[in-house]
């Protein structure tokens, strides 16, 4: 097989438990985003536009939806004769059960896969970040610095720095110190979970780390510190632009709101960097005579008869006459019946909201659906359920199923 310069490995096995009911049945990278995308579309599109056509997607938790979504990679132009996209689930071998124990362990178990392409570099990406990035520029930087590893970093607000892997680098970008989620951060340069490694060196470190019984087999916690202590030249590549980890209900909601801000904080309408996705086969959306629609984005297959303001509406959604939906994110094929009122709600795929239901309008102290996962007044409604006519759901709720309940109790 022809040698491939760079192979990308996307870590898509995370459970994403902080997204609550959204990831009950799908892996986080398969969660819908921005009306017609899924989170995994962003790294896949970035690879495609960056000319990286050999991509491994490491899945583990609830991989079915993700597998069928990726398929042969055609929508991302990754159906190639040489390379293309491969879904790489864990497997059982003669000697052991190769369940992925950590991010580094996941790559370790796929050494054979990577070796087949004999790459010079391996790009390790995360399957749950929203951003547009040309990896070619980062690879050029990596070559120019003759680095063993390059880590993409960005400035984050100081008060949030302790949530990230924090890097201290010299003027040239050479990393001096690295701390995973430090209590007292020494800089505000946070790792974006995007790494380029020289494959030869990474392989050695991975094999060593595998033997280390005290290691948690994680890139941030084990591999990067090990490489640093081995005095391997590592550089921080500064990224400027929009990047968001959509790991919580609030950040997922916020990132959706960012694309409908005026002007958008994150612009998807970029003809030089179109976000690819598996498109639904649906007609243009219809806006009826009675509808009022402002500050929102709407996509194919929708039928809007009600009032919509400041919402992200995914494909195949119907909003009946008299319904009012504000500041909400509506996933595909949701049906919102007449006179229902929704405010700051994330509604999962295929759910039916009954007539006159009131969701997210009022607060209540002993709210039966209250959940620590739903903050900032956001309500999260599970997919494929029915909210009965006239139901009332308070702010900061998570509804797994109506009647039986939700919130932190389930």
Partner 1 sequence: MTNMIGLILSESYLQLNGLTDKRSVEALPIAGRYRLVDFMLSNMVNSGITSVGIVTKTKYSSLMDHLGSGKEWDLNRKNGGLHIIPPYSGRGIQGLSEGTIDLIASASSFIRRSKEDHIILSKGNIVANIDLKEVEKFHEENSADITLVYYESKEATNRDLGDHIVLEVDDNCRVRGIEIRPIRPKSRNVFMNMVLMGTGLLQYSIDEAYARGDRDFIRDLLIKNLSNLKICAYKFEGYVGFVHSVCTYYSANVDMLKEDVRREIFNSSRPIYTKIKDQVPARYGSEASVHNCLIADGCIIQGDVRDSIIFRGVNIGKNTKVSNCIIMQDSVIEAGCELKHVILDKEVTVRDGGRLIGDLTHPMIIDKGEVV
Q: Applying CB under 8 A, what is the total number of residues that bind partner 1? A: 37
- Identify which of residues 288 and 363 has a Cβ nearer to partner 1 in the complex: 288
Residue 296 lies near partner 1 (rule: CB under 8 A): yes
Residue 323 lies near partner 1 (rule: CB under 8 A): no
- Residue 175 pairs in a beta bridge with 169
Task: Kindly state the smallest distance separating residue 32's Cβ from partner 1, in Å.
Answer: 12
Using alpha carbons only, give the angle 325, 327, 330 rounded to the nearest 5 degrees: 65
Residue 289 lies near partner 1 (rule: CB under 8 A): yes
Q: Which of 295, 363, 375, 384 binds partner 1 (CB under 8 A)?
A: 295
- Identify which of residues 7 and 297 has a Cβ nearer to partner 1 in the complex: 297
Distance (Å, whole) CA 12 – CA 38: 12
Non-local CB neighbours of 63 within 8 Å, separated by 6+ positions: 13, 27, 87, 89
Residue 80 lies near partner 1 (rule: CB under 8 A): no
Task: Kindly state the smallest distance separating residue 301's Cβ from partner 1, in Å.
Answer: 8
For the chain, the first-to-last Cα distance in angstroms comes to: 51
Q: Which of 275, 323, 340, 347 binds partner 1 (CB under 8 A)?
A: 275
Instruction: Give the three-class secondary structure for 135.
Output: helix
Q: Which of 164, 276, 394, 402 binds partner 1 (CB under 8 A)?
A: 276
Residue 326 lies near partner 1 (rule: CB under 8 A): no
Task: Kindly state the smallest distance separating residue 36's Cβ from partner 1, in Å.
Answer: 6
From residue 134 to residue 173, the character string flagging contacts with partner 1 as x (rule: CB under 8 A) and all else as - is: ----------------------------------------
**Cα→Cα distances 4→49, 52, 55, 208, 354, Å:** 16, 9, 11, 25, 54
Taking a C-beta distance cutoff of 8 angstroms, is the pair 250, 136 a contact? no
Q: Which of 50, 60, 277, 371 binds partner 1 (CB under 8 A)?
A: 277
From residue 330 to residue 349, the character string flagging contacts with partner 1 as x (rule: CB under 8 A) and all else as - is: --------------------
Distance (Å, whole) CA 273 – CA 279: 16
Assigned token pair, 156:
């984050």
Taking a C-beta distance cutoff of 8 angstroms, is the pair 169, 235 a contact? yes
Distance (Å, whole) CA 324 – CA 307: 5
Distance (Å, whole) CA 95 – CA 97: 7
**Binding positions for partner 1, rule: CB under 8 A:** 34-36, 74-75, 260, 262, 268-269, 274-277, 279, 281-301, 312-313
């Amino acid at each position: 097989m022809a040698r491939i310069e760079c192979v990308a490995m996307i870590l898509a096995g995370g459970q994403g438990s902080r997204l609550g009911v959204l990831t009950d049945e799908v892996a986080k990278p398969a969660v819908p985003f921005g009306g017609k995308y899924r989170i995994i579309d962003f790294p896949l599109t970035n690879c495609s536009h960056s000319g990286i056509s050999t991509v491994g997607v490491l899945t583990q938790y609830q991989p079915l939806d993700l597998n069928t979504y990726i398929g042969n990679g055609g929508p991302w132009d990754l159906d190639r004769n040489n390379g293309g996209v491969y879904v790489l689930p864990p497997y059982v071998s003669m000697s052991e059960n190769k369940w992925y124990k950590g991010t580094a362990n996941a790559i370790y178990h796929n050494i054979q896969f990577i070796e087949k392409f004999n790459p010079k570099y391996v790009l390790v990406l995360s399957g749950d970040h929203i951003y547009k990035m040309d990896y070619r520029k980062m690879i050029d930087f990596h070559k120019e610095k003759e680095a063993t590893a390059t880590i993409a970093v960005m400035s984050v607000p100081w008060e949030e720095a302790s949530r990230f892997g924090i890097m201290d680098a010299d003027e040239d970008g050479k990393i001096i110190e690295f701390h995973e989620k430090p209590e007292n951060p020494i800089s505000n340069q946070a790792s974006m979970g995007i790494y380029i490694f020289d494959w030869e060196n990474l392989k050695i470190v991975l094999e060593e780390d595998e033997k280390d019984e005290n290691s948690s087999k994680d890139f941030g916690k084990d591999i990067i510190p090990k490489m640093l202590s081995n005095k391997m030249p590592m550089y921080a590549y500064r990224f400027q632009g929009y990047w968001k980890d959509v790991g919580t209900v609030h950040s997922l909601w916020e990132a959706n709101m960012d694309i409908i801000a005026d002007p958008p904080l994150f612009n998807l309408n970029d003809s030089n960097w179109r976000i690819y996705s598996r498109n639904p086969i649906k007609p243009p959306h219809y806006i009826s005579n009675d509808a009022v629609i402002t500050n929102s984005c709407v996509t194919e297959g929708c039928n809007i008869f009600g009032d919509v303001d400041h919402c992200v509406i995914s494909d195949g959604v119907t909003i009946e006459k008299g319904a009012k939906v504000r500041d909400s994110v509506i996933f595909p094929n949701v049906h919102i019946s007449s006179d229902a009122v929704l405010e700051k709600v994330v509604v999962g795929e295929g759910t039916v909201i009954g007539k006159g239901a009131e969701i997210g309008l009022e607060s209540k102290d002993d709210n039966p659906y209250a959940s620590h996962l739903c903050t900032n007044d956001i309500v999260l409604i599970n997919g494929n359920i029915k909210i009965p006519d006239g139901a009332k759901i308070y702010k900061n709720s998570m509804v797994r199923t109506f009647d039986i309940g939700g919130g932190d109790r389930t």
